Amino acid sequence: MKKQIAIAALTIGAFVLGTNTIQAQNTTATTTVNITLNDVISIDAGSTAIGNTVDFNYATAADYNSDQTITKANSLKVTSTKNFNVKVKAGGANFMNGTNLIPVNVLTIKASAAAGTMGGTKNAVVLSAADQTLVANAPLGSALTLNLDYTIPAAKSSSSDILGKPAGTYTQTVTYTATAL
């Protein structure tokens, strides 16, 4: 009988100690979370400069004798993890209509009065086939917008650059490039 009491006491003791052991186990866990960043610069979808057109129409004498400006909202939307520049250039030296040519320097591109959310130093650029800085040292940000004015001044439209050219549509591409600093 003493053996049975001893076995019962040991069994109860093991059970009590085992219960305490379960309660003493860890109740917290830790996990490492990594955030991996990569440098990004992008002219985002929603930029009206992507696949859009700017159309100047010279139909009257008044059109040839006055400045014409076309404003394009959200011309560029840029996301960049670093400060950046925006450059602009024409795809060639001339607007073309078959063999008929108008020099690209008739067009000036600049930030609109309501320029958008993109900071930096904004420059008016007389278009050429060489890269020129339109925005310098723009601060980093997400979906920063730039509204642009495209202007052909009366001094150009009433000069031999445009006057005397055959009627028709003259075309050239304009390329914008955002570059991280």
What are the residue ranges spanned by the domains of the chain? 41-180
Residue 12 CB-half CA count within 13 A: 6
pLDDT over 80 (residue 1):
no
Nearest to 154 by CA among 73, 56, 72, 55: 56
Please state the pTM of the whole predicted model: 0.82
pLDDT, tens digit, 9 for 90 and up, residues 38-75 = 999 999 998 999 999 999 999 999 999 999 999 999 99
Cα 52 to Cα 16, 123, 154: the distances in Å are 79, 22, 24
Which neighbouring-strand residues pair with 83?
none
pLDDT over 80 (residue 2):
no
Fold that domain 41-180 belongs to in CATH: Immunoglobulin-like (2.60.40)
Measured CA to CA, the distance from residue 39 to residue 132 in angstroms comes to 24
In this prediction, residues 114-133 reach a mean pLDDT of: 96
Query: Residue 8 has which token pair?
Result: 């019962």
State the pLDDT at residue 139: 97
